[in-house]
Amino acid sequence: MSSSVEKTSHIPITVFTGFLGAGKTSIILSLLPKLPKDYRVVLLKNEFGDVEVDSQLAKQSSLAAVSEILNGCMCCVLVGQMKTALLEIREKYRPDRIIIECSGSAFPATLAFQIRELERETERDLRLDAIVTVIDAENFTGYEDTSPTAKMQASYTDVILINKWEHISDRALDILIDHLNTLNDTTPKVRCEGRAGVDPDLIFGLDSKLFLAEAEHPSENHHDEVETATIYRGAKPPHPAGHPHTHGDSCTCSAAAPLAGASDTPPVDEASDVISEETLTAALDGLSKETIWRVKGFVRTAKGVHILNWAFGRSDLSACSADGLRDGGSVLLTVMGERGEVKRVARRFAEKIGASVA
C-alpha cells in the first residue's frame, strides 16, 4: 500500500544522519516502494573514500537520480559542493523530494544550517523537511564512546529511527532507549521493522522547526573521526577525490581516473580475476569492529559483480546489475574506521585477499 505522502509546490529535503553502518541506505531504499508511483525522489549521497558504490542505486531502484559527493564531509569542507548539487538537482530534475544521506561523521546541525541558508536564497523553494537520525541499536553504545558526533546526531534531530534492535535483548533495548532519552528526551524514537524499514508518513511532511534562527547555529566543531583506505585488486576508483557526479537515466560515466600510486598496476583479465567468497569471508572475519567500522565497495566473484557491505562484524553481498569494476579488477573497497588504525589493518586485510592499499 502506498503512503499518504503528498506532493508540494516546494521541494522538501529530508536529511538522514547516523554513524557508519547504521543502515541509512537500506532504510531509504525501503521507503521508495511505499511512495506513490509518480513521486520522484533524488538522493544526494555523501560518502567516505573514492568508491561510488551507491551510484548503482539509480539503476537498481525507483530513484529519479543519485548524486554522490565523495572523499570528504559536506557538512564542513564540502559544504559548497552540497549547495551546488542541491541547486543542480532542483534545476535538472525538479523532484518531489530530495533525500540527503550524510557520511557517518556528519554533524547534522551544521548541515541543516546550510540548508536554511538555501531556503532563504531560493525563497523557500528548497525547504528542510526533517533531520532523521538512524541508530544502530547493536553497536551504538560502543561507537558513541569513540564518536562525539554520534551523540550530536542523536541530539540534533526531528526523529530517531532505532535500527537492528532485533539483534539485542529486550533489556539491552530498554537501556539503549533510556540512554537516548538522556541525550534527547523530546524527539520521537521509532523502531524500524527490519528490511521493511519505516512508514514514510512517520518521517515525511514534518516541516522541521530546527535551526530556524541564525542564533541557533551550534558552535561545536566538526570532528574528523573517521580514517579511510582504498583496497583494490586490478580496479581503480572511477573518479578523483572529491568529485561530485550525478547518475540519472542518461548517465554515460565510464571513465576511470588513476589513483595515486596505482598507475603501474597491470591490467587484469576480467575472465580470470575473481575472488572466492571463502577467501573474502575469512578476511572479513579477521577484522575487529573496535577499530574497523565499515567496509564497502565492489567485489567480483565467480557469480559476478557484487556490492559488499560490512559493518561492525555483519556482512552482506548483493548482486549488482551494473559493473562497478569497469577495468576488469576483482576488488575495489573503502575501509573506514578509527583514525590511526585503518591503514595498518587495511594492509593486513589486503594481503589476505591478494590486493593492494592506496
Residue pLDDT, tens place only, 59-94: 677 888 888 776 544 444 445 678 888 999 999 999
Q: Is 172 exposed, middle or buried (0-12, 13-18, 19+ CB in 10 A)?
A: middle
Please report, for residues 41, 64, 87, 101, 212, the alpha-carbon distance to residue 98 in angstroms, rounded to integers and kept in the order given: 6, 10, 11, 10, 19
Percentage of the residues of the chain whose pLDDT score is greater than 70 = 72
Residue pLDDT, tens place only, 281-317: 999 999 987 788 788 888 999 888 888 888 877 888 8
Residue pLDDT, tens place only, 22-67: 888 889 989 999 999 999 999 998 765 555 665 565 567 788 888 8
pLDDT score, position 75 = 41
DSSP states of 75-110: TTTTHHHHHHHHHHHHHHT--SEEEEE--TT--HHH
Using the structure block, give the residue that is written with the C-alpha cell 559493518: 311
